[in-house]
Amino acid sequence: MRGPPAIESAHAGLLGSGSHASMTAPLTIAHLTKRYGDQAVVDDIDLTIAAGQCHGLLGPNGAGKTTTLRLALGLIEADAGDIRLLGQAMPAGARAARARVGVVPQVDSLDPDFTVRENLLTYGRYFGLDRAEVEVRVPDLLDFAGLAGKGDASVASLSGGMKRRLTLARALINDPDLVILDEPTTGLDPQARHLVWQGLRRLIGKGKTLLLTTHFMDEAERLCDRISIIDRGRIIVEGSPRELIRAHIEPQVVEVYGDALADWRVCALDLCQRCEQVGETLFCYTTDPEPVIAELDRHPTLRYLHRPANLEDVFLKLTGRDLRD
Ligand code: ADP
């Protein structure tokens, strides 16, 4: 899929050549623990983010993802464990390490009273970049974000998708080696999500390392080389999306809906490796969907959707379907 010219034509120099992706892992975490009160919200985590990869940190609400990112950035102090970010022991080396990291926070922190350009200039100052240095970068950053021609627009006038893309562009102001993104596409419509994905793929293509949290399993499956699923402060599995699907779930799923579901359930249990009823839907997990579909064709009142298993099936199997606040 090709992006709009604005994104595709961005200047190659802006995002580096990929030479930053040295063989040393940009982030390594060992035995990391963080407690609030008597709860270990991060509980003895080991995590290595390999150079040049997009690594997804997935988990239900409250699993400890944001706390892990904040620890990694040296914004809060751990109770135990070691963190090395871009060669620096954290939090002691936070200042030096953060100069080479870009952060896209969960909630946009753009200044609505400033223009798009002023937001970039102001942010550059946090990295000690002088105005002239940032001015040179602004056109390329705006191109990258699909915001060419919007430099003088006020942030308040931008759509949610544009603000998100500006936040992404802002995170690149210091040409970072590692970009940490906390739910970068939450709240965006599908068109805007696709634009952000194109931008992220382009960064991956340039050899940048990305650490991403998201609640969208399709996003993680599309973008991530490697995924860690975290639940209740512990990493419960790790692997590529394909490895996780292969290891934890039957390859085919038939979702069945309809009034006659209760009667048909008995059949399904005979034909599938595993069935799970969620509300009005029976999820039938199987290595061979043919007999299931043949049987369903004999029950025309039942509707069904046949699809390959995906990361969301793995996620829900491993973390459960109960709501987390
Ligand atoms: P996630 O990002 O996976 O949704 P968080 O890392 O934000 O999860 O939170 C993990 C747990 O830590 C939650 O139970 C949350 O309430 C708790 N928590 C996070 N920050 C604090 C804090 N400053 N004080 C007390 N509890 C906190």
33 domain-assigned: yes
Q: Give the pLDDT score at 81.
A: 98
Same domain (yes/no): 168, 210: yes
To the nearest whole percent, how much of the chain has pLDDT over 70?
92
6 domain-assigned: no
Same domain (yes/no): 165, 37: yes
From 41, 71, 180, 229, mutation site for ligand 1 pocket: most ligand atoms within 8 A of C-beta: 41
Partners of 5 in the β-ladder: none
For residue 67 and ligand 1, the question of a CB distance below 6 A is answered with: yes
For residue 63 and ligand 1, the question of a CB distance below 6 A is answered with: yes
Q: What CA–CA distance (Å, rounded) separates 317 from 313?
A: 6
Nearest C-alpha to atom 15 of ligand 1 is from which residue? 62
For residue 62 and ligand 1, the question of a CB distance below 6 A is answered with: yes
131 domain-assigned: yes
Strands (E), the chain: 27-36, 39-49, 54-58, 80-85, 88-89, 101-104, 178-182, 209-213, 226-231, 234-239, 252-257, 274-278, 281-286, 303-308
Q: Give the pLDDT score at 23.
A: 67
Q: Give the pLDDT score at 16.
A: 52
Q: What CA–CA distance (Å, rounded) separates 158 from 150?
A: 9
Same domain (yes/no): 237, 89: yes
Q: Give the pLDDT score at 324.
A: 67
5 domain-assigned: no
Cα 22 to ligand 1 centre (Å): 32
Q: Give the pLDDT score at 11.
A: 35
pLDDT tens, residue by residue, 258-314: 888 888 888 888 899 999 988 889 999 999 999 999 999 998 899 999 999 999 999
129 domain-assigned: yes
- Structurally, how many domains does the chain consist of? 2
Nearest C-alpha to atom 12 of ligand 1 is from which residue? 41
Specify the CATH number for the domain of residue 103: 3.40.50.300
> Which candidate, 223, 242, 244, 266, places its Cα nearest to that of 316?
244
Same domain (yes/no): 196, 70: yes
46 domain-assigned: yes
7 pLDDT more than 80: no
Q: Give the pLDDT score at 208.
A: 94
pLDDT tens, residue by residue, 70-109: 999 999 999 999 999 999 999 999 999 999 999 999 888 8
Q: Average model confidence (pLDDT) for the chain?
A: 90
14 pLDDT more than 60: no
| Nearest atom in ligand 1 to 68's CA | 6
13 domain-assigned: no
Is residue 296 within 8 Å of residue 254, measured between CB atoms?
yes
Question: What's the pLDDT band for 195 if we cut at 50, 70, 90?
Answer: confident
Same domain (yes/no): 69, 47: yes
Same domain (yes/no): 77, 128: yes
pLDDT tens, residue by residue, 98-142: 999 999 998 888 999 999 999 999 999 989 888 898 999 999 999
pLDDT tens, residue by residue, 136-166: 999 999 998 889 999 999 999 999 889 999 9
Is residue 212 within 8 Å of residue 223, measured between CB atoms?
yes
Domain end marker among 226, 245, 264: 245
Q: What CA–CA distance (Å, rounded) separates 90 from 78?
A: 9
Helices 116-126 and 160-170: angle between axes, nearest 10 degrees: 30
Q: Give the pLDDT score at 210.
A: 98
Domain end marker among 245, 269, 294: 245
Same domain (yes/no): 145, 207: yes
232 pLDDT more than 90: yes
Same domain (yes/no): 136, 260: no
Same domain (yes/no): 126, 267: no
18 pLDDT more than 60: no
Q: Give the pLDDT score at 265.
A: 84
For residue 59 and ligand 1, the question of a CB distance below 6 A is answered with: yes
Cα 325 to ligand 1 centre (Å): 11
3 pLDDT more than 50: no
Same domain (yes/no): 218, 94: yes
- Give the domain range for residue 259: 250-308
Q: Give the pLDDT score at 139.
A: 93
77 domain-assigned: yes
Confidence (pTM): 0.89
Cα 64 to ligand 1 centre (Å): 6
Q: What CA–CA distance (Å, rounded) separates 87 from 97?
A: 8
Same domain (yes/no): 270, 238: no
Same domain (yes/no): 125, 236: yes
1 pLDDT more than 50: no
